[in-house]
Structure 1
Amino acid sequence: MYRVWNFITNYSLLLILGAVIALVWANVSPVSYEHFIETVLIEDFFIGAAVMGENGEVTRELTLHYLVNEVLMAFFFAMAGKEVWEAVILKNGSLRGKKAATPLVATAGGMIGPVAVYLGLAYFLGSDTYDAVARGWAIPTATDIAFSYLVGRFVFGAGHPAVRFLLLLAIADDAIGLIILAVFYPDPLVPLSLSWLAVSFGAAIAVYVLFNYLPRRLDAGNELRPVSTWVRNKLHFLPYLAAGAISWYGFEQAGIAPALGLLPIVPTIPHADRAFGIFSEAEKHLKDLLNRIEHLLAHPVEIILFFFGLFNAGVQFSSIGSPTWLVLGGLLIGKPLGILIFGAFAANILRLGLPAGMRTVDLVVIGCVAAIGFTVSLFVASVAFESGTMLGGIEVQAAAKMGAVFSFGAVITSVIAGKLCRVQKQHV
């Protein structure tokens, strides 16, 4: 039993609303929109966007855009990281065992295919285009879990095994996407600092030892595990909030996307003994600290996603250009091809198989559904290209963002692919 509709209404509709307002605002009054999102809250602050001064000195200024994208979105990525962590580490986790083998291989195809199409088409368009857009290769690799899952249920029916396959693929895609963001998109104005990165992981190790390792040591030989149980059910979130703040600051000073700064802390939080699955109704009854924190963050993240859409989707339609079509080509062509080729190879050549009731041709439809990039694609576009970088009179970042917004066209291609592949809907 999945709480999909609640998840979609809580998260996705507010995100869409913010994006729609941004699109309208940016096209009706682009100057006021740009002035709004770049509003400087505090100049020469200890956190904020790195800016190059006239004397070549790098300082930081806290803008509304930075506050939303790098501070508040850290909570969104922490929740995404929580789902990935549980899927990997907990008993019955969806990314454990043979059941996840074919989806994981298909995920690799869903990353490689878009990159190949994006860079291949860019190379075909000439060296000027390629040089201008090459840094955005990761934009079309993203899959929006919530939207793709909703469309997958519409196309396949809630009871079709392809829906579960799609969900596993989307979770794995997000996990790889987080790694890509951290490794390939550091702040160009801030040199990578391993010592500051060590501060982040030091904070994670400290809370892990205090609230995971030591309680288990104290419970050694006691089957009731009283100390571990008390920590898991009663410990307040404040120690982890403090550790998260230190970790976030370490990421920022290290030159790595600070929006990912809470991820080292997530695995250290006392959690449930088994996973019930993303969107599972049972999760709302879990009282462990990790799930309690997720419940506390649920409504604030709804608002955060609204502002993320508002601050990132405001692109003028005149910005449509070659980066737009490259992102769309990577998503709408590269995703289905990559997932089909790699998924079929895993299922039929490596003999890893597909879930009972699922056909190889269903991989085509899954690939079309997974082509909805939106949220993470928008985020990657915002960090891949510097604002103001131009190509043929069009701002590259804005054009790439428009491709991420237009990825909603995958809804149409998914429905058409479902009809052509003769998908038989299966309901619960």
Structure 2
Amino acid sequence: MHAESTNHVHPIIRATNLLQEFSVPLIAGVVLGLLAANTNPHLYETWIEFNPFGHELTLHFIINGMFMCLFFGVATKEITQSTLPGGVLNPLRRAINPIVGTFGGVLGPAALYLALTWVFYGGTENFGAVANGWAIPTATDIALAWLAARLIFGASHPAVNFLLLLAVGDDAIGLGIIAIFYPDPNHPVQPIWLLLVVGGMASAYIIRRFRIRWWPVYILVGGTLSWVGLAKAGVEPALALVPIVPFLPHSGHAQGLFEEEVFGLSVLDQFEHQLKLFVDVGLFFFAFANAGVAFSSVGLVTMMVLVSLIVGKAIGVTLFSWAASLVGFPLPDGMGVRHLLVAGIIAGLGLTVALFVAAKAFPDGSPFQDPGKMGAVLSIASALVAFIIGWALKVRGRTSATETAGEIGETDRQSTAADG
């Protein structure tokens, strides 16, 4: 009877894992949001602005301001995990090259976006409003980028972990950008309330000292204080768990991003393990509520976001990581410049965080919000661009150390010849 029950359970678990691995809920939310917004926009607006509790608690706010706490909390868990022994950020020297590439992946698209804004909107009254969207193309969707990298490079290729570190680093920087550059426009910043965030961190520390091994206690006590503090301070409350999650007890070593374990999970691992399905399914509602923009909204800002994501990321990541390799911080064994270029293109897959930033950069009522969001949605195309270029450059498979040195050396010789 036990075996029979197991046979019934396993296909469901396998199907669920498959849906999560391929980010099906997120993609389905994007598709249905676009479909609803373009077939019956009035009904779509009624759904997402439904106000069952009165005051400002619309479904849109519940999703963006409350549910996304868990999404950013899980992202913070990945960042925390990566700094532990065995993680991609430990030891630091091994991670220097991709960390430098991460900064290129933020500065490159931001600079390109601002340059395009100057070209098309310089001297106009809309310049400041459009320029405020500079952070939209700095984002990378961790799950989708990881999936695309595995499909393009192969599951065991070193470029997959390299890109994963880029995505984690992008998100870490992105969290800071949201907190600093995009305060709540409806509530003036009141820093005194941030003391509640400090209180939440102190609470989490005390709970940890008492060796509490049930993660909801940390989230309900520390997370609630942090959320109220951020909301009252005028800072994005969806970031409430970012300062709390690092206090969750861990095993002292990295489990490995996206690895699954059943037994012996630390409190930090349990937090992700027990919430991951809920968060992945919840991303359907986030995508549905945020990606529902009319195709007629496609415009200049859409193209600016899209070009900045794909071209800006590729140039920024490639140049910065290549420069790091020249000064003594090499690429991972098995990666060459061509792998680096394709990884940079994949990093342009900004969907989830880019959508979130677009909603902050262009407030409700802004004529640039929907075009900006559409640029984030269309960034899915970066996976197709990366696949085509990756196929042309034959990136599936490892590059020998000799070949890597040869690629970089050839670039140096060409540069020297050009200077001469």
Amino acid at match of 1:293: F
Q: CA offsets per residue over residues 182-223 of structure 1, 9 Å max, x none?
A: 1111001212122211111212112203423xx5xxxxxxxx
Report the TM-score when normalising by structure 2. 0.87
Q: CA offsets per residue over residues 107-139 of structure 1, 9 Å max, x none?
A: 100001101111101110023343231111000
Shift of 1:281: 2.9
Q: Does 1:332 align with 2:310?
A: yes
1:98 paired residue number:
93
Shift of 1:361: 2.4
Q: Where does structure 1 lack aligned partners over 5 or more consecutive residues?
A: 45-60, 216-230, 390-394
2:358 to 381, 393, 397: 381
Amino acid at match of 1:10: Q
RMSD: 2.0
2:247 paired residue number:
268
Cα separation, 2, equivalents of 1:317 and 1:240: 39
Answer whether contact 1:119 1:130 (CA < 8 A) is retained. no
Task: Quickly say closer, same or farther: Cα 1:377–1:239, change in 2 above 3 A.
Answer: closer
Among all aligned residue pairs of Structure 1 and Structure 2, give the percentage whose two residues are the same amino acid. Answer: 42
Q: Does 1:317 align with 2:321?
A: no
1:134 paired residue number:
131
Amino acid at match of 1:185: Y
Answer whether contact 2:200 2:224 (CA < 8 A) is retained. no
Q: Does 1:191 align with 2:188?
A: yes
Task: Quickly say closer, same or farther: Cα 1:360–1:426, change in 2 above 3 A.
Answer: closer
Q: CA offsets per residue over residues 3-31 of structure 1, 9 Å max, x none?
A: 99976622711011111111000000011
2:70 paired residue number:
75
1:257 paired residue number:
236
Answer whether contact 1:159 1:426 (CA < 8 A) is retained. no
What is the correspondence of 1:6-17 to structure 2 with a 5 Å cutoff?
9-10=19-20, 12-17=23-28
Q: CA offsets per residue over residues 166-197 of structure 1, 9 Å max, x none?
A: 11111111111111111111001212122211
Q: What secondary structure, in the 3-state scheme, does the structure 1 residue paired with 2:52 have? A: strand
Q: Where does structure 2 lack aligned partners over 5 or more consecutive residues?
A: 1-12, 400-420
1:398 to 346, 354, 370: 370
Cα separation, 1, equivalents of 2:171 and 2:219: 23
Cα separation, 2, equivalents of 1:121 and 1:285: 51
2:43 paired residue number:
32
What is the correspondence of 1:18-417 to structure 2 with a 5 Å cutoff?
18-44=29-55, 61-88=56-83, 90-96=84-90, 97-127=92-122, 128=124, 129-212=126-209, 231=211, 234-235=213-214, 237-282=216-261, 284-348=262-326, 350-389=327-366, 395-417=367-389
Answer whether contact 2:204 2:221 (CA < 8 A) is retained. no
Shift of 1:140: 0.3
Shift of 1:87: 1.1
Report the TM-score when normalising by structure 1. 0.85
Cα separation, 1, equivalents of 2:321 and 2:54: 50
Q: What secondary structure, in the 3-state scheme, does the structure 2 residue paired with 1:62 have? A: coil
Answer whether contact 2:129 2:362 (CA < 8 A) is retained. no
Shift of 1:42: 3.3
Amino acid at match of 1:43: G
Task: Between 259-268 and 309-318, report the one with greater CA deviation.
Answer: 259-268
Aligned residues: 383
Answer whether contact 1:107 1:173 (CA < 8 A) is retained. yes
Amino acid at match of 1:339: V
Q: What secondary structure, in the 3-state scheme, does the structure 2 residue paired with 1:166 have? A: helix
Cα separation, 2, equivalents of 1:190 and 1:252: 9
Cα separation, 2, equivalents of 1:366 and 1:5: 29
Cα separation, 1, equivalents of 2:112 and 2:18: 30
Shift of 1:69: 0.4
